């Protein structure tokens, strides 16, 4: 299949190292597959450890001059990168839909979301402040902030653009260089971003993209190389734990944005229509494949039946189809394996007594489509309560009291995002403060943007991305003591 773009320079299939496009040393390539059709849409260079090492060396050579530039010089290049991303929004969205499956509307939205991080951090980089400490009469302490160093970034397939810019923009804005390994399922969006960074005038070696299927080889180099000072990762909790262990030997800083198990709690006093709408948006965004998708709908008994009825009506109007086609409301899941894993969780819930109210199986045909699914008669012993589903499956649990809802919400090792619906102000404060999550949406599930600190607690990770806090993850604090000032 040939991919037609308005700007053909965005279709890149080689690794991007030191400002150059290059094949894998082995000459090998790997296939990028459209999950809506099962067709191969591109062959991409299958780079590994040696190419990663070269990328780190390029970053090492490029970083000193970049770090020495005034913030406004770095910001101007990032602003240009942002403008180019937005000018090429339609092409970037098309590439994303082809390799990831989400609908064109969702991809178009993600490109803008991704670009917003570039603009935000270009602006924020001019506002990095330090402190002067005046504790003793004859000396002063000065606190300055400096770039952490070369950053290794490993990004997921579910947001092939925005999860890259949310890391690369703050890193570059403060003066770091980056070596990025994007997910092997979605390399084209990452490579197109690199091409636009080059066109924006970003000097060679600052943003390197190593594409490849040998994650242990690429990740192994990024986590063990002493020149890499920080590793930032978005992905599953088991892989995050492994990377943290690997980073321990060289005591690297890490930022981990890991798995979630988000509850949406709907209290009897909620605005029912708003709660149904919020739960739908959150559950089925990207066909259920976001870390902050609601995983468990937890609904109070007085409103339960009405909620299930309205929620089911809306789900029955969804049209899961090829994201490039008009009328598709949702796309496929990423791979056949993902589809089978989702189905195994549904089958296991059904074997334990769950009722399938809608969907319940793969759609069949070409592509990796899973029917939008609703389960009732579910309980906390089931995999759909304990594990991240990462697919379009909504188990709806029932609770009696506020305390029970809080306990259910917290009954998980994860702590990324949680949501609840209530019109009672006292309850809103009580519950928001009692649930152990890094982000809480009250009467709202669309909580993401560049201005908010995105991140989790417990086994959902550490560090924050976006917002003014997102810069801190790429800065070291240095204390300088100046003595003898009364001489
Ligand atoms: C994610 O799934 O990790 C990102 C979702 C978002 O940024 O809203």
Which residue has the CA at smallest separation from atom 5 of ligand 1? 290
Quick check: 240 and 414 in contact, CB under 8 A?
no
Q: What is the DSSP string of 32-76?
A: EE-TTT--EEEEEE---HHHHHHHHHHHHHHHHHHHHS-HHHHHH
Residue with tokens 């003898």: 484
Residue with tokens 């259910």: 408
- Probe residue for ligand 1, chosen from 235, 292, 464 as the CB with the greatest number of ligand atoms within 8 Å: 292
Residue 163 pLDDT: 98
- Pairwise CA distance, residues 348 & 382, whole Å: 8
Which residue has the CA at smallest separation from atom 7 of ligand 1? 448
Read off the tokens for 231: 């590793």
Return all residues near 250 (Cβ < 8 A) that are at least 6 apart: 223, 224, 225, 226, 228
In this structure, the residues whose C-beta lies within 6 A of any atom of ligand 1 are 158-159, 234, 257, 290-292, 448, 454
pTM of the model: 0.98
- Residue 255 burial by CB count (10 A; 0-12/13-18/19+): exposed, middle or buried? buried
- Pairwise CA distance, residues 446 & 281, whole Å: 8
Quick check: 403 and 428 in contact, CB under 8 A?
no
The three-class DSSP label of residue 163 is: helix
Query: What number does the ligand 1 atom closest to the CA of 158 have?
Result: 2
CA–chain centroid gap for 253, Å, is: 19
Query: What number does the ligand 1 atom closest to the CA of 448 have?
Result: 8
Query: What number does the ligand 1 atom closest to the CA of 286 have?
Result: 2
Query: What number does the ligand 1 atom closest to the CA of 234 have?
Result: 3
Residue 351 pLDDT: 98
Q: Is 481 a catalytic residue?
A: no
Read off the tokens for 58: 């390029």
Q: Which of 185, 291, 371, 450 is catalytic?
A: 291
Taking residue 327's Cβ as centre, other Cβ atoms within 10 Å add up to: 8
Q: Is 325 a catalytic residue?
A: no
Ligand 1 centroid vs 485 CA: distance in angstroms? Answer: 50
Return all residues near 211 (Cβ < 8 A) that are at least 6 apart: 14, 15, 44, 45, 46, 47, 181, 182, 184, 187, 190, 191
Residue 2 pLDDT: 85
- Pairwise CA distance, residues 229 & 231, whole Å: 7
Quick check: 234 and 291 in contact, CB under 8 A?
yes
Which residue has the CA at smallest separation from atom 8 of ligand 1? 448
Run means of pLDDT, 10 residues per run, the chain, 487 residues: 93 98 98 98 98 98 98 98 99 98 98 98 96 92 98 98 98 98 98 98 98 98 98 98 98 98 98 98 98 98 98 98 97 98 98 98 95 98 98 98 98 98 98 98 98 98 97 97 94
Ligand 1 centroid vs 291 CA: distance in angstroms? Answer: 6
Quick check: 453 and 464 in contact, CB under 8 A?
yes
Residue 135 pLDDT: 81
Q: Which of 257, 402, 450, 459 is catalytic?
A: 257
């Amino acid at each position: 299949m040939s991919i037609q773009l308005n700007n053909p320079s965005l279709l890149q299939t080689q690794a991007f190292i030191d400002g150059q496009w290059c094949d894998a040393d082995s000459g090998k390539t790997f296939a990028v597959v459209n999950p809506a059709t099962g067709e191969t849409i591109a062959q991409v260079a299958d780079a590994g450890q040696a190419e990663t090492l070269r990328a780190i060396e390029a970053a090492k050579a490029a970083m000193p001059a970049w770090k020495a530039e005034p913030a406004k010089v770095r910001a101007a290049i990032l602003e240009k990168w942002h403008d180019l991303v937005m000018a090429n929004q339609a092409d970037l969205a098309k590439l994303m839909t082809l390799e990831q499956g989400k609908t064109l509307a969702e991809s178009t939205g993600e490109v803008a979301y991704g670009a917003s991080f570039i603009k935000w951090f270009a602006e924020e980089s001019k506002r990095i402040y330090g402190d002067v400490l005046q504790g003793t009469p004859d000396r002063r302490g000065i606190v300055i902030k400096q770039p952490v160093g070369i950053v290794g970034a490993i990004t997921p397939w579910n947001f092939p653009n925005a999860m890259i810019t949310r890391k690369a923009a703050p890193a570059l804005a403060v003066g770091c260089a980056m070596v990025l390994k994007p997910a092997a399922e979605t390399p084209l969006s990452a490579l197109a971003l690199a091409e636009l960074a080059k066109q924006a005038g970003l000097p060679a070696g600052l943003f390197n993209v190593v594409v490849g299927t040998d994650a242990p080889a690429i990740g192994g180099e990024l986590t063990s190389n002493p020149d890499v000072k920080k590793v930032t990762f978005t992905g599953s909790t088991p892989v995050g734990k492994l990377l943290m262990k690997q980073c321990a030997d060289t005591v690297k800083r890490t930022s981990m944005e890991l798995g979630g198990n988000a509850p949406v709690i709907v209290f009897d006093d909620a605005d029912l229509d708003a709660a149904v709408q919020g739960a739908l948006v959150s559950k089925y965004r990207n066909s259920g494949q976001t870390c902050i998708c609601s995983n468990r709908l937890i609904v109070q008994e007085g409103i339960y039946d009405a909620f299930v009825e309205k929620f089911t009506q809306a789900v029955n109007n969804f049209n899961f189809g090829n994201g490039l086609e008009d009328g598709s409301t949702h796309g496929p899941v990423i791979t056949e394996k993902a589809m089978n894993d989702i189905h195994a969780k549904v089958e296991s819930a059904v074997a334990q007594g769950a009722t399938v109210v809608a969907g319940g199986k793969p759609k069949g045909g070409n592509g990796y489509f899973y029917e939008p699914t609703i389960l009732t008669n579910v309980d906390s012993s089931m995999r759909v309560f304990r594990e991240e589903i990462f697919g379009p499956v909504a188990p709806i649990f029932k609770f009696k009291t506020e305390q029970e809802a809080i306990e259910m919400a917290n009954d998980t090792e994860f702590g990324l995002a949680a949501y609840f619906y209530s019109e009672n102000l006292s309850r809103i404060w009580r519950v928001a403060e009692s649930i152990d999550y890094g982000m809480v949406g009250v009467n709202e599930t669309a909580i993401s943007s560049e201005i908010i600190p995105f991140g989790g607690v417990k086994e959902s990770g550490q560090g924050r991305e976006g917002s003014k806090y997102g810069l801190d993850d790429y800065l070291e604090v240095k204390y300088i003591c100046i003595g003898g000032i009364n001489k």
